[in-house]
Structure 1
Amino acid sequence: MRPGRNRGWLLRLVIAFSFAQAAVSMARPAVSYRALALGADERAIGVIAGVYALLPLFAAVPLGRRTDHGRCAPLLPAGVVLIAAGCALSGLAGSLWAMAVWSGVMGLGHLSFVIGAQSLVARQSVPHEQDRNFGHFTIGASLGQLIGPIAAGALIGGHDMAGTSALALVVAGAGAAVAVTSLWRIEDRTALTSRTRHGDRVPVRRILGARGVPAGILISLSVLSATDVLTAYLPVVGEHRGIAPSVVGLLLSLRAAATIACRLVLTPLLKLGRTPLLTSTCLLAALLCAAIALPVPVWALATLLAALGFCLGVGQPLSMTTVVRAAPEGARSTALALRLTGNRLGQVAAPAGAGLVAGVAGVAAPFVLLGGLLLLSAGVALRSPAREPADVPKDTARAAEGPAGAESRR
């Protein structure tokens, strides 16, 4: 049976991703609150948020190379272990430096899991199902982003902010460990074919020179930077505007729920065309992100976040498909890793830049900068039309099907 038709592996992957992402989404605001309780200012929050991406920044391409010529499934449990350790030990850390280090470990685990998972989806999906399967896969991330902030908001609060935020981080670590239960039956049935068909490494310069890869990287970087800074800085905005942590958690979860809604209807939305859809959603997201800087009431902020979450739901799955289709054969995992490297660059630069801007111009100013970045992405999406499934060669489609797909044709 074709892997594109038998999506039991995809359901298990989505469940595992939901637990792993919920742990990270619970830990990120908890880290911010715990750092504030330990005496951090806005700039320190930005540095700690940036370190989350700094360690993975150097590991993405080597992991992608290894995945292109080997199995990607082992990266999944390894990533879960690192996420669980990073969350729990961040809660036990007693200094801002230690929190930054364990935040980096958490980020490395998340990167390992995502590289393995994205490569698995790319290998197990036939070309015309890639948009849908990547969309379903990213629902796991959105579910985690929906549950995590609510759980963090329920646990964090009161007079002992340091203690409650530490508890939230330990609970997040335990939640991440649950993801292992959905991973044990996931197999990479295309790994053997990958090792035998592709013996030579494609140079990184050639991958980045493929039309569509840079555009996919920039769009993904912009969307993730918006989500990441929103997660890290909405608690700070809430503190300045007198919004309780529980309400901030609900607002972040509302954004995630809107993203889930977008990805559930992604297939009919694609009838508008991939390029117009990417361009319009990035443009709307830019305007909505900048509007968060306005001193609006909570109900209006909730409306803005819901609309923003829906628009941001398009960029990640379509940028994955864009990169996979544009990359040379035999280097798709490396191309996805380069996309994640761009994401991590954004996660290093965006929070750090946000911290500097917030320290000078106020805590809402970073959202105006993010609006500008999303506006740039809208222009790039318009100038770099995405390849459609019909453009994918038949031999590439057979390679994507893997051994199970080949067996079904015999």
Structure 2
Amino acid sequence: MRPGGNRGWLLRLVIAFGFAQGAVSMARPAVSYRALALGADERAVGVIAGVYALLPLFAAVPLGRRTDHGRCAPLLPLGVVLISGGCALSGVAGSLGTMALWSGVMGLGHLCFVIGAQSLVARQSAPHEQDRNFGHFTIGAALGQLVGPIAAGAVIGGDGPRELAGTSALALLAAGATGAVAFTSLWRIEHRRTAAASRGGPGERVPVGRILRSRGVPAGILISLAVLSATDILTAYLPVVGEHRGIAPAVIGVLLSLRAAATIACRLVLTPLLRLLGRTALLTVTCALAALLCAGIALPVPVWALGLLLVALGFCLGVGQPLSMTTVVQAAPDGARSTALALRLTGNRLGQVAAPAAAGLVAGVAGVAAPFVMLGVLLLLSSGVAVRSPKEPRGEADGEVGGSGERGSRRRGVPLRRQSDI
């Protein structure tokens, strides 16, 4: 089956990603609560959370290399097994060291699933469909991020350490079961033709330095890092802002849910936005607006205004992740597109490790609102980088395929061959 054909595989991938991401989003706060119940202090909780992002740093590029010249689909069930196992085993862990270990396993599973899934979307989508398909794919992540924390909060409770340990363990076991549901959507998810092409010769490995020097790859990595850092720090520090401003935790939860819902809405209308502005202009405008909105959170505005800021911010942040994937895929050299996506994920993980640490330092010196100003500066920098990213090929933004090479052969009716490097 040629790329751009039946998209039933994409719907199944979105469903599977929703359950996998929902499990992780439910488990991460539950891990912190269970660690606290086991006697961890704030530093130990930070270390356990950091292991989730740190371990995958060493596995991303090797997994991307393997996927460039192999099938994508096997990484998906492997990722689900590691996610579900890491969640459930965290629920029965009896020490902080074991908690850290299973947190790392969960992070590795999430990395395996995301690398396999992103490579699958890149490989099985025609070039002019990649923006749309990546946008739809990331709806699964947004749904998981929306539902997971709410589900964790509904399960976790208790006044004492013993009650907290029990309810957090229950939440982790529930997260493991939720992740396992993703198996039901992974059947025959990779097209036979693209799977056969991926098993071609090993080819020559493109050096990482050459990938990073390809115009557009660093821009995609930086934009993705900035957007993910903004989302993570917003989730971590908005409760702190609420505490200082006297906003109830339940209201903060609603505000964060509004942000996630706006991100989903953005990805549902991504295709008409691309037709209107094009990828480069859309990335530039939304990153610049997100920078201003992040800085606006630092102002002492009323709750209703804060809600409006977060809805607008969630909409703007929803653009960065899917379009940065397309930017990286289309800018990467032949034979290295999965590796380029893995490098993008490595940048994400670095941001997840470094951004909270930097935010903590800034907040300690300049106050709890200062991290949002820092994020504004980072997003403004990514907006400037987006301006210099490669322009999309003519006709691509409005769904046409033209020109020479792969796109030209598609327009002339010649079957478009999707090689293992996509």
Question: TM-score normalized by structure 2?
Answer: 0.87
After superposition, the C-alpha distances for 1:209-259 in whole angstroms (9 at most, x for unaligned) are 111000001001111111122334444555555655554443332211111
- Taking the aligned partners of 1:167 and 1:96, their CA distance within structure 2 comes to 17
- Equivalent pair of 1:16/1:183 in contact (CA under 8 Å): yes
Which residue of structure 2 aligns with residue 180 of structure 1?
Answer: 183
Which amino acid in the other structure matches residue 221 of structure 2? I
What does 1:10-409 align with in structure 2 at a 5 Å threshold? 10-37=10-37, 43-159=43-159, 160-189=163-192, 190-196=194-200, 199-238=203-242, 246-270=250-274, 271-388=276-393, 389=396, 393-395=404-406
- Taking the aligned partners of 1:92 and 1:71, their CA distance within structure 2 comes to 34
Which amino acid in the other structure matches residue 218 of structure 1? L
Give the SS at the match of 2:12. Answer: helix
- Taking the aligned partners of 1:30 and 1:246, their CA distance within structure 2 comes to 17
What runs of 5+ residues in structure 2 fail to find an aligned partner?
Answer: none
- Taking the aligned partners of 1:101 and 1:353, their CA distance within structure 2 comes to 24
Give the SS at the match of 2:70. Answer: coil
- Taking the aligned partners of 1:44 and 1:238, their CA distance within structure 2 comes to 24
Distance change in 2, residues 1:239/1:172 (3 Å)? farther
- Taking the aligned partners of 1:147 and 1:200, their CA distance within structure 2 comes to 43
Distance change in 2, residues 1:99/1:207 (3 Å)? same
Which amino acid in the other structure matches residue 371 of structure 1? G
After superposition, the C-alpha distances for 1:90-120 in whole angstroms (9 at most, x for unaligned) are 3333444433332222111111000000000
Aligned length: 404
73-82 vs 146-155, which moves further:
146-155
Give the SS at the match of 1:196. Answer: coil
- Taking the aligned partners of 1:30 and 1:186, their CA distance within structure 2 comes to 31
- Equivalent pair of 1:122/1:130 in contact (CA under 8 Å): yes
Distance change in 2, residues 1:95/1:386 (3 Å)? farther
- Taking the aligned partners of 1:27 and 1:335, their CA distance within structure 2 comes to 28
Distance change in 2, residues 1:231/1:77 (3 Å)? farther
After superposition, the C-alpha distances for 1:343-370 in whole angstroms (9 at most, x for unaligned) are 1111111122233334444444333222
- Taking the aligned partners of 1:89 and 1:239, their CA distance within structure 2 comes to 33
- Equivalent pair of 1:19/1:176 in contact (CA under 8 Å): yes
Distance change in 2, residues 1:72/1:393 (3 Å)? farther
Identity among equivalent pairs (%): 82
The Cα of 1:398 is off from its aligned counterpart by 7.1
Distance change in 2, residues 1:212/1:187 (3 Å)? same
After superposition, the C-alpha distances for 1:389-409 in whole angstroms (9 at most, x for unaligned) are 46885337879xxx99669xx
Distance change in 2, residues 1:187/1:206 (3 Å)? same
Distance change in 2, residues 1:29/1:234 (3 Å)? farther
- Taking the aligned partners of 1:293 and 1:135, their CA distance within structure 2 comes to 29
- Equivalent pair of 1:237/1:363 in contact (CA under 8 Å): yes
- Equivalent pair of 1:223/1:316 in contact (CA under 8 Å): yes
241-250 vs 95-104, which moves further:
241-250
CA RMSD of aligned residues (A): 2.7
Distance change in 2, residues 1:222/1:187 (3 Å)? same
Question: TM-score normalized by structure 1?
Answer: 0.89
What runs of 5+ residues in structure 1 fail to find an aligned partner?
Answer: none
The Cα of 1:260 is off from its aligned counterpart by 0.7
Give the SS at the match of 2:200. Answer: helix
Distance change in 2, residues 1:144/1:281 (3 Å)? same
261-270 vs 90-99, which moves further:
90-99
The Cα of 1:52 is off from its aligned counterpart by 1.4
Distance change in 2, residues 1:53/1:311 (3 Å)? same
- Taking the aligned partners of 2:362 and 2:120, their CA distance within structure 1 comes to 39
- Taking the aligned partners of 2:134 and 2:403, their CA distance within structure 1 comes to 17
155-164 vs 100-109, which moves further:
155-164
- Equivalent pair of 2:230/2:375 in contact (CA under 8 Å): yes
- Equivalent pair of 2:215/2:390 in contact (CA under 8 Å): no
- Equivalent pair of 2:55/2:107 in contact (CA under 8 Å): yes
Which amino acid in the other structure matches residue 59 of structure 2? A
Which amino acid in the other structure matches residue 11 of structure 2? L
Give the SS at the match of 2:189. Answer: coil
- Taking the aligned partners of 2:370 and 2:164, their CA distance within structure 1 comes to 26
- Taking the aligned partners of 1:126 and 1:69, their CA distance within structure 2 comes to 19
- Equivalent pair of 2:22/2:145 in contact (CA under 8 Å): yes
Larger Rg: 2
- Taking the aligned partners of 2:152 and 2:213, their CA distance within structure 1 comes to 42
7-16 vs 269-278, which moves further:
269-278
After superposition, the C-alpha distances for 1:294-315 in whole angstroms (9 at most, x for unaligned) are 4444433332221111011100
- Equivalent pair of 2:69/2:201 in contact (CA under 8 Å): no
After superposition, the C-alpha distances for 1:126-162 in whole angstroms (9 at most, x for unaligned) are 0011111111111111111111122122223442444
- Equivalent pair of 1:50/1:351 in contact (CA under 8 Å): no
